[in-house]
Amino acid sequence: MTLRIGIDVGGTNTDAAVLDEADRIVARAKRPTSADITGGLRAALAAVLDELGERSGEVSRVMLGTTHATNAILERRSLGKVAVVRLGAPATTSIPPLSDWPADLRRAVAAGAVIVRGGYFVDGRPIAPLDTDAVKRFLNEPRDGVPVEAVAVTGVFSPASAEQEKQVAEIVLAELGGEVAISLSHEIGSLGLLERENATVLNAALYGVARDVTGGLRQALDERGLAVETFFAQNDGTLMAVDYAARYPVLTIGSGPANSLRGAAFLSGVSDAIVADVGGTSTDLGVLSGGFPRESAAAVEIGGVTTNFRMPDILSVALGGGTVVGEGAGEGLGPRSVGYRITEEALAFGGPTPTMTDAAVAAGRGTVGTRPVAASERLSRAVRLADEMVIDAVDRIALGKADRPLIAVGGGAFILPGSVPGVSEVIRPADAAVANAVGAAIALASGRFETIAPAGAGRAAAVERAKEEAAARAVAAGADSGRVEIVELTEVPLSYLPEPAVRVHVKAAGPLI
């Protein structure tokens, strides 16, 4: 039982890669992503298992990076009805929960909201006692037939003290029973009340999606007779166990780009670089720092909702292998793409539609398809426009640092030029087409914790407690408790407080058990 399979579901293709105990790639596959996503997953899994043959019985783990959660939010489908509880009245009543959400998403998710007395100051002192009676009344009030499938609880400065959120969770269990899922904000986001609340509500709304994905993966494995451990990729390029993913499905958003960056680092052996992952529809650019994705410092918007959990700093441009080449000089390139229909539409496969793949083949940058593609001014212009897009994107993501290499990965990586201003070299590693699946297969498990600590006496003890909590979360996500390490520790002084304090963020990571 020495093999592990990484699977990544992208917008155009679903990729799978099998690694052995020495981290050698022994099988790989790329299959079109199906409309229901699960079909493409099964096809990619079947392809690598068939390639393994008798060795398929040696598979012990499967790691999945999926777009299910992202698509559910963007398409407003399969989302659960969430009752929202905010702790912080009367100070936080001016902006009600979900007031900044798009109307259609709010309708799809909302099952009522309430703001009750409670919450904490930034130093962990209670603003007011929790109004438990108000919480009970809200949970039991009639909702005109709208079911409460999950409850999202957000307290003012709950990362500093989570006791009141835990109290509400106990009340929910007592009043509504164990069938209702509970999402607590101190486990989801960082400081920033509204953004943390938004992330918590999205997490609660995704419980059903996570259950369906987990069930689909297990069914696909059962069909092949595989009794293996399963893990999900999360936003920072690390893994979490299935049970952990079921509790925190929102953490799977952004796992695709993170997998690509981690896979690029592994395949190239370069830990500090710019990565360009070229798919069928878009190119995602990110930065590797110490082998992990550089994280975004800005708030992340998902489906029109602003959140504040950690996401890789990704720049996406509408350039991929399936990008359609316009006819006239004024039509430019894209953003329309033939996507997963490239083998039916592109000239290189005998189709009627000129694509960026055809332009790159005509320019001699790769050999793809079943038909030759003749050079033309139209395709040459597309190559020039694409190169300009890449140069501009690299300049924007590099933030002025020009001494790093560019690692080109993804099925469409061949469309990129051999040299790009602003990078030291362009690296094209072997097996780059399945870098995202490789990234899922080699990932570690991790946990994070953020809190407020006094800047003077008590700071050291508070930091140690934060380290212990981050390590415990990494173990809960599936890491070996004896091999967990603190890989990130940041302290940011907080101004304008009666007593000096620092914001502490800790990340722990370790190999799987």
Nearest to 83 by CA among 198, 204, 189: 204
Percent of the chain with pLDDT over 70: 99
Compute the distance between CA of residue 111 and CA of residue 264 in angstroms, rounded to an integer.
43
Residue 273 has pLDDT above 90, yes or no: yes
Residue 328: per-residue pLDDT: 63
Compute the distance between CA of residue 388 and CA of residue 395 in angstroms, rounded to an integer.
11
127 contacts 119 by C-beta, under 8 angstroms: yes
| Ramachandran assignment for 499, one of left (phi > 0), alpha (psi -120 to 50 degrees), beta (any other) | beta
Model confidence at 330, in pLDDT bands (50, 70, 90)?
Answer: low
* Residue 272: both structure tokens together: 């500090």
Q: What is the pLDDT of residues 359-418, one digit of tens each?
A: 999 999 999 999 999 999 999 999 999 999 999 999 999 988 878 999 999 989 999 999
Name the average pLDDT for the chain.
90
Residue 120: per-residue pLDDT: 92
- Residue range 343-370: mean pLDDT, rounded: 94
Q: What is the pLDDT of residues 148-160, one digit of tens each?
A: 999 999 999 998 8
Residue 331: per-residue pLDDT: 66
Counting Cα atoms < 13 Å in the Cβ hemisphere of 143 gives: 16
- Residue range 236-265: mean pLDDT, rounded: 88
Q: Which of 76-85, 96-105, 173-182, 494-503 has the lowest mean pLDDT?
A: 494-503
CA 279 and chain centroid, separation: 17
- Residue range 122-137: mean pLDDT, rounded: 92
Q: What is the pLDDT of residues 54-64, one digit of tens each?
A: 899 899 999 99
- Residue range 258-275: mean pLDDT, rounded: 94
Output the pTM of the full model. Answer: 0.82
- Residue range 127-153: mean pLDDT, rounded: 94
Residue 111's φ and ψ, nearest 5 degrees, are -130, 35
Residue 427: per-residue pLDDT: 97
- Residue range 69-94: mean pLDDT, rounded: 91
196 contacts 190 by C-beta, under 8 angstroms: yes
Compute the distance between CA of residue 118 and CA of residue 263 in angstroms, rounded to an integer.
45
Compute the distance between CA of residue 505 and CA of residue 490 in angstroms, rounded to an integer.
5
Residue 58's φ and ψ, nearest 5 degrees, are -90, -5
Residue 207: per-residue pLDDT: 94
Q: What is the pLDDT of residues 196-239, one digit of tens each?
A: 999 999 999 999 988 888 888 888 888 888 889 899 998 888 88
Residue 158: per-residue pLDDT: 92
Count the residues in the chain.
Answer: 513
DSSP letter, residue 494: E
Q: What is the pLDDT of residues 407-449, one digit of tens each?
A: 999 989 999 999 999 999 999 999 999 999 999 998 888 888 8
Residue 468: per-residue pLDDT: 95
Compute the distance between CA of residue 49 and CA of residue 18 in angstroms, rounded to an integer.
9
Residue 253: per-residue pLDDT: 86
Model confidence at 136, in pLDDT bands (50, 70, 90)?
Answer: very high
